[in-house]
A = this chain, B = another copy of it.
Amino acid sequence: MPEVDFWFSIGSTYSFLTVMRLDDWCAENDATVHWRPFNVRTVMSDQQNIPFAGKPVKSAYMWRDIERRAAKYHIHAKLPAPYPISDLTLANQVALLGMRDGWGKAFTQNLYRIWFEEGVDAGSETALSEAVLRCQQDPRLTLARARSPDTIAALETETDQAAKLGVFGAPSFVVNGEVFWGDDRLEDALSWARIGHVV
């Protein structure tokens, strides 16, 4: 079975498309995907990579492109969503905690729905608490654990790992050390996992 590492950050707009379509995609392609939250803001800031801030034309295009592609994938969205989000680090600390506890994928999908369908900043305590609740977890306890030194260090370790692999943006897919950047490269990553080249 082909295996793909899915490196994402809550806060990344294009990751919305992947987060929402990935379960169906895995079932259709008989593929296994490992969800790996990291802090894309750290990586991009370290690399002077600022894709949208101060770029209104490119930003407007980004929303339009996401709208067209969401329609293509039959994903509902109310666009533009609030951007950039406030506490990106905390959001991804919760996600990482959830991945280790087994509810991280559902949390991420819930949070993206709250952000992209309900229009609530995904880095706000309101959105984070609601997404945690929808996973039958305790928001107060979970956010406290997400803010603990252990979880802070764990996300930093994952972020370092992403950077070491050559990841510079989200979403990225990594297969046997090969990096594919962007929701639109998911099929290329699958092809790489299956036969070692892109078709």
Contact = CB atoms under 8 A, between A and B. Distances in A.
Contacts of A65: 180-181, 185
A74 to B, nearest CB: 11
Contacts of A188: 68-69, 72
Nearest to A163: B57
Interface in A63-87: 64-65, 68-69, 71-72
A interface, how many residues as a size bin? 20 to 34
Contacts of A72: 188, 197-199
Given A184-B184, A198-B68, A55 B49 contact: yes
Given A47-B55, A55-B49, A166 B68 contact: no
Contact of A57 (B168, B180, B192): B168
A179 B48 contact: no
B49 A179 contact: no
Nearest to A166: B57
B198 A61 contact: no
Nearest to A69: B198
A192 B166 CA distance: 34
B61 A179 contact: yes
From A168, A197, A199, name the one whose CB has the most chain B CB atoms within 10 angstroms: A168
A121 to B, nearest CB: 25
A61 B166 contact: yes
Interface of A: 47-49, 54-55, 57-58, 60-61, 64-65, 68-69, 71-72, 166, 168-169, 179-181, 184-185, 188, 192, 197-199
